[in-house]
Amino acid sequence: MSSSWGINRTMAQILALLFSSSVPLTVDEIMERLRISRGNASMSLRDLMDWGIVRRFRRPGERRDTYVSDSDPWVMFAKVVRERKRREVDPTVSAIRDCLARVPESEETETKALRERLSGLLEVFGLLDAAYQQVFATDQGFRNTMRLFRSDS
């Protein structure tokens, strides 16, 4: 599943371990269970925290950080979708707009066709963005949408 979510194998392994664990885990516990290096564990945990699907905290009175993932798969999925949109869709839209701005207004067949194709791509991404805004703009909006799907089954 990790390749579909846009995360590397170690990130996926750590996420699966934290998701399936009923208790928060330290870096050392993660390293031991997955047999990975400290550097790999630290880098992957940092990336997962950047994605917002893993949290670091310290228990009162303890010195070591522990890590947990969201326990709600719907919330985790929503965060992954938000991050993928931010990292992939938004820059793509920006690049298409930049390309479109560089194509001159012209009645030349090839130039006109290119402008139409780029505009069509922007329209598709605009529809995707509108759907995203309806479903994923807020956690509450996402939860409401998921309730509709769950009640239909």
pLDDT value at residue 152: 54
- Sequence spans of domains, the chain: 2-69, 73-152
- For domain 2-69, the question of CATH label 1.10.10.10 is answered with yes
Q: Which of 26-30, 50-54, 108-112, 135-139 has the lowest mean pLDDT?
A: 135-139
Can you tell me which residue has the tokens 């509450």? 140
Alpha-carbon distances, residue 70 vs 16, 24, 36, 78, 88 (angstroms): 11, 11, 22, 11, 23
Q: Can you point out the beta strands (E) in the chain?
A: 54-58, 65-69
- Tell whether the model's pLDDT for residue 63 goes beyond 60: yes
- Looking at residue 25, what DSSP letter applies? B
What local confidence, expressed as pLDDT, does residue 11 receive?
93
User: What is the rounded average pLDDT of the residues 77-97?
Assistant: 90
Mean pLDDT of the chain: 88
**d(Cα 132, Cα 104) in Å, to the nearest integer?**
31
pLDDT at 33 over 80: yes
